[in-house]
Structure 1
Amino acid sequence: MTDWITQAPPAAQTYLEGRRLDEVECIISDLPGIARGKAVPASKFAKQEYFHLPDSIFYQTITGDWGEAAGADGFIEKDMILRPDMSTASAAPWTGDWTLQVIHDAFDRKGNAVACSPRNVLRRVVELYRAKGWKPVVAPEMEFYLVARNIDPAKEIEPMMGRSGRPAAARQAYSMTAVDEFGPVIDDIYDFAEAQGFEIDGITQEGGAGQLEINLRHGDPIKLADEVFYFKRLIREAALRHDCFATFMAKPIANEPGSAMHIHHSVLDIETGKNIFSGPQGGETDAFFHFIGGLQHHLPAAIAVMAPYVNSYRRYTRDHAAPINLEWGRDNRTTGIRIPLSGPEARRVENRLAGMDCNPYLCIAASLACGYLGLVNEERPDKQFRGDAYEGEPDIPRVMGEALDLFENAPELHAILGSEFARVYSIVKRAEYDEFLQVISPWEREHLLLNV
């Protein structure tokens, strides 16, 4: 790997021009989407073709506890072989020295892809599409809040202080003045993104107090998931420079909208390069409706992956910009499945269910898996919904336990995502949910202590 820098993307090479690289962060996503790995001197990275981490990183809950998911061998923490994907080499411009990050792929000692690695799960789904002659294309939208520093879990989360000296205001969607309140943070987000070679399609103010949205250009699902994975860290680091926190919780502030990761999907025919959702005359194809049908029929079982925490289900409330059912409609933001305005070439399907607290690899994989099942099973959607879908009946799980029940009883979905991943994910999430249920909330103490 002596010439490894020449294999890095142009943005990484530009970042290092005239500079001495000090360190390389060798990273991989765990189930929650946290970067795990090692930081090594650049000179050592140049000499290594792989490094080791124990497979137990995929059995860890968000709290640092462990799910009993090790399998027949027991919890012996076998070493995985992690190999760098040099196409992901990216600057870490917030560090004090010159540092690159490189995402790695996980293999076992026989060279097989580790089934629980989120990036491998997504690659598995993409390869199923390719085996059918299809190329999936996605475009994620990332919503998040900039909030005041909060070091006391018992204290409610509050909006950050803007440059005017006033807290960020709610209900200012698309306001440029509101965006200007966060100007210094946004400037750093743009600078960091440029150093990392990421193209931002736009930043807008959303409806919540201190809530922003970043849109990314459409492209390859694995590449886009890598970018979201990187962006979460980038945005957090930009916020810390300005004495605030960036949070990707699905519902961080009561009575404010939640944060979603809407995913736009289209599918190209590999041989022709044409969008299979549009016919020769520009009309909507059977494949278009089958993809929608797949989302409608299989998303209930996949929601445990797209809404992975107890807090995630607080987002699904009427009139708070999040869906409560799986209706589909054209240019209708009240439905869970939306068909945006577009020409035939750009015809796409938007999944509005996913929360921004998801692991981007797993969320995109699960969403694509639902669409894939619709395509191969030729599933038809319900009749298009017209009007306000919030007036319809809810059909989305309201609690994590219910969502896990649906996920655990979805063999078709497991076959697409991988049965070993499904087994481990279920065990880890059950452990997390059980841990949450041991916590007595302030609401319970306030209303039940003396009244029941």
Structure 2
Amino acid sequence: MSDWTDRLPQAARNYVADRRLDEVECIVADIAGVARGKAMPASKFWRQDKFYLPNSIFLQTITGEWADNPSGAFTEPDMILTPDFTTATAAPWTADWTLQVIHDAHDQKGNPVPIAPRNVLKRVVELYRQKGWKPVVAPEMEFFLVARNTDPNQPIIPPMGRTGRRAAAKQAYSMSAVDEYGKVIDDIYDFAEAQGFEIDGILQEGGAGQVEINLNHGDPVALADEIFFFKRLIREAALRHDCFATFMAKPIEGEPGSAMHIHHSVVDLETGKNVFSDDHGRETEAFLHFIGGMQRHLPAAIALLAPYVNSYRRYVPDFAAPINLEWGRDNRTTGIRVPISGPEARRVENRLAGMDCNPYLGIAASLACGYLGLIEQESPRAECLGDAYMSQDELPYNLGDALDLFNESKPMRDVLGEEFAAVYEAVKRNEYKEFLQVISPWEREHLLLNV
């Protein structure tokens, strides 16, 4: 066992030091970003170098149904899953001593499974590498802490704070608002420390019980791994204190939605310099081309950045959500924002992604837009200097329209991989079809006796 634990990151080694490790969770992210895999005794894990799962896990919808396999026969061949020991991290909320390890997914010929979301992101990062570039991202995670909701027919409401009152809205950046559920935040910090994750900051957002966590910039795959782990970590911290954490894009009617803002920069592999700035600190053509690529290709990527019917409830005016493809410097009304920074940290922020997206696919799709702009040398429109909320709508209004745009975009499908694109579309068409069969309370209230 000592040889095996020597391969773990330091935080994981610290967690199991002088302890009897009980269990290892061997996991991959499915299309929704849900952890799938097997838990096994640690004594068994260190005696094997791989295990098997059917590739059909990537055809499962969020409701547990199965989409038709676009490639034809539904034979469910096994994938070979091998541990990526760099991802090993604690599961500090469990009753015993447990580690989680993300696994790489290959087919039986040793090729990366093209429909595995983590492999899709690796594919995009590799396209950058082939051009001599290294993409860097910094995600921001927004989510709501809400009262336990065990009846889906009942609306979601804010949690009870330590004062005995429900969490209040319109308290952005309020420290006292964060203190209302401080015990949950304390556990988030403790769990993150045990897992070796560094939080750049936690703040109160504009919604009732809405929190934002910022992560430091870094490698796209490593950051997507962290978000994948963080979602579970945050949910577990909330459950300890009799509330839920939700990453729905729009969980509470009348409140703002939750975004996953993604900051991007690109580094030249040879020089180590940010390609968005020249030697004199000025903006480069590459910087403008990256923005131009986002403006041109983001509509086709929305199906991955806003992957559920609920996601489009966030794209409404007057709720601090960017519903445009404008770009601007230090302008939070634009969908594409350039934050204040020095030349070495010049970056582009995509404010369109929802927190409900699969982090691997959301980051991959966002990077794909910028990559296409760099390759096509796409020039952006003129910078928006005013209120971009007043701009003309340019985004799809629902999941069906978004999937149509994704289907029609050969450049986006080529970058992400056609086999993945076909499977993703099949899964999402299935989910959308199932949703359209549900009769909502609004329909019963207004149509039952009036039409």
For the superposition of Structure 1 and Structure 2, which TM-score range results when normalised by the shorter chain?
over 0.9
Q: Residues 146-225 of structure 1 correspond to what in structure 2 (within 5 A)?
A: 146-225=145-224
Partner of 1:315: 314
Alignment-derived partner of residue 51 in structure 1: 51
Residue 340 of structure 1 corresponds to which residue in structure 2?
Answer: 339
Q: 1:34: which partner in 2?
A: 34
The DSSP-based 3-state class of the residue aligned with 1:7 is coil
- 2:232 counterpart residue number: 233
Any idea what the Cα deviations from partners look like across 1:175-228, whole Å, max 9, x if unmatched? 000011110000000000000000000000000000000000000000000000
Extract structure 1 runs of 4+ deviating beyond 4 A. Answer: none
Could you tell me which residue of structure 1 aligns to residue 328 of structure 2? 329
In the alignment, structure 2 segments of 5+ residues that lack a partner are none
TM-score w.r.t. the length of structure 1 is 0.99
User: Are the equivalent residues in 2 in contact too, given 1:56–1:70 (CA < 8 A)?
Assistant: no
Q: What letter corresponds to residue 37 of structure 1 in structure 2?
A: G
Structural mapping, 1:102-141, within 5 Å? 102-141=101-140
2:70–2:426 contact (8 Å) kept in structure 1: no
Q: How far off its partner does 1:403 sit?
A: 0.3
Q: Does 1:13 align with 2:13?
A: yes
Code of the aligned partner of 2:151: D
1:70, CA displacement in angstroms? 5.3
How much does 1:71 deviate?
1.7
Measure, in 2, the Cα distance between the counterparts of 1:119 and 1:409.
Answer: 24
1:2: how far off?
6.6
Aligned amino acid, residue 377 of structure 2: E
- Looking at structure 1, the residues matched to 430 and 135 of structure 2 have their Cα atoms a distance apart, in angstroms, of 33
1:349 and 2:348 matched = yes
Unaligned runs of 5+ residues in structure 1 are: none
What CA deviation, in whole Å up to 9, does each residue of 1:257-279 have, x standing for no partner?
A: 00000000000001110000000
What CA distance in whole angstroms lies between the structure 1 residues aligned with 2:319 and 2:221? 30
The question of whether the paired residues in 2 share the 8 Å contact of 1:200 and 1:217 is answered with yes
Structure 1 vs Structure 2 CA RMSD: 0.7
Q: Hey, what's the Cα distance between the residues in 2 that align with 1:4 and 1:130? A: 31
What's the counterpart of residue 376 of structure 1?
Answer: 375
Counterpart residue number, 1:251: 250
Give deviations 1:320-371, integer Å, cap 9, x for gaps: 1111110001101110000000000000000000000000000000000000
Deviation at 1:449, TM superposition (A): 1.1
Number of equivalenced pairs: 451
Q: CA deviation at 1:252?
A: 0.2
Question: How many Å separate the matches in 2 of 1:427 and 1:2?
Answer: 45
| TM-score (ref. length: structure 2) | 0.99
Q: What residue number does 2:78 align with?
A: 79
- Distance in 2, matches of 1:386 and 1:359, equals 32
- Offset of 1:76 from its aligned partner? 1.4
* Inter-partner Cα distance in structure 2 for 1:84 and 1:370: 30
Instruction: Find the aligned partners of 1:250 and 1:232 in 2 and give their Cα distance.
Output: 14
